[in-house]
């Protein structure tokens, strides 16, 4: 009986050690999730300022991550480590493997979320650069267009002036021609 009681104490001690290690690992994962959420303080301020607005996808992802990690903490705390396995270690190894796999999946998911955010940030920067370049081209073309309109107006005024001068000269020539015909008919 006393041997069984010692084993129970050792198993409890073992589980406590695993729970502490799992808490540290999950705490780190929670910190990553908070980092992945971006500006945590500004998100709180924004939530207070815009209480009626829906959560963004990033906030929902971060909240979901924190919740799943906190829920995962409950299950991981009771899993035995390999050094603490007893005669029933084979039965306990399977849940431990599943929970570690879940923790690894969560860590990979967090890395993927962070990588996706970085990729999205790079895409936004590229699009902003393209937009800025297009805005610069629009400004250049608008300036060229204004210059060409001014040049067209100058040329049009010159054309109209020359056209009027030409009409005056034609009228003067016709008047001179009629005058010359009248003079020649008199003689």
Tokens of 22: 């799992």
pLDDT of residue 152: 98
pLDDT of residue 162: 97
pLDDT of residue 147: 98
Residues 6 or more apart whose CB falls under 8 angstroms from that of 26 comprise 69, 70, 72, 73, 76, 103
Tens digit of pLDDT for each residue in 37-51? Answer: 554 444 444 444 444
Tens digit of pLDDT for each residue in 105-130? Answer: 999 999 999 999 999 999 999 999 99
| Secondary structure of residue 38 in the 3-state scheme | coil
pLDDT of residue 112: 96
pLDDT truncated to tens, each residue of the chain (187 aa)? 444 555 555 555 554 444 555 565 666 666 666 665 554 444 444 444 444 444 455 566 666 666 565 555 444 444 444 445 444 444 455 555 566 788 889 999 999 999 999 999 999 999 999 999 999 999 999 999 999 999 999 999 999 999 999 999 999 999 888 877 777 777 6
pLDDT of residue 158: 98
Cα dihedral value 79, 82, 83, 88, nearest 10 = 70
C-alpha 171/C-alpha 174 separation (Å) is 5
pLDDT of residue 185: 77
Helix (H) or strand (E) segment spanning residue 83: none
* pTM for the model: 0.37
């Amino acid at each position: 009986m006393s041997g069984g009681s010692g084993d129970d104490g050792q198993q409890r001690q073992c589980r406590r050690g695993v729970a502490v290690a799992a808490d540290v690992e999950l705490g780190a994962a929670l910190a990553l999730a908070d980092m992945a959420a971006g500006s945590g303080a500004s998100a709180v301020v924004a939530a207070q300022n815009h209480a009626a607005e829906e959560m963004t996808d990033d906030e929902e992802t971060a909240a979901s991550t924190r919740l799943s990690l906190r829920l995962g903490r409950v299950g991981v705390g009771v899993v035995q480590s390999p050094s603490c396995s007893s005669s029933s270690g084979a039965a306990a190894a399977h849940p431990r493997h599943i929970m570690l796999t879940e923790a690894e999946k969560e860590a990979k998911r967090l890395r993927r979320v962070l990588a996706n955010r970085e990729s999205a940030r790079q895409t936004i920067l590229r699009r902003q650069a393209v937009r800025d370049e297009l805005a610069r081209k629009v400004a250049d073309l608008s300036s060229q267009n204004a210059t060409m309109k001014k040049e067209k107006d100058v040329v049009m005024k010159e054309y109209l002036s020359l056209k009027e001068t030409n009409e005056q000269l034609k009228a003067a020539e016709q008047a001179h021609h009629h005058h010359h015909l009248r003079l020649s008919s008199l003689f």
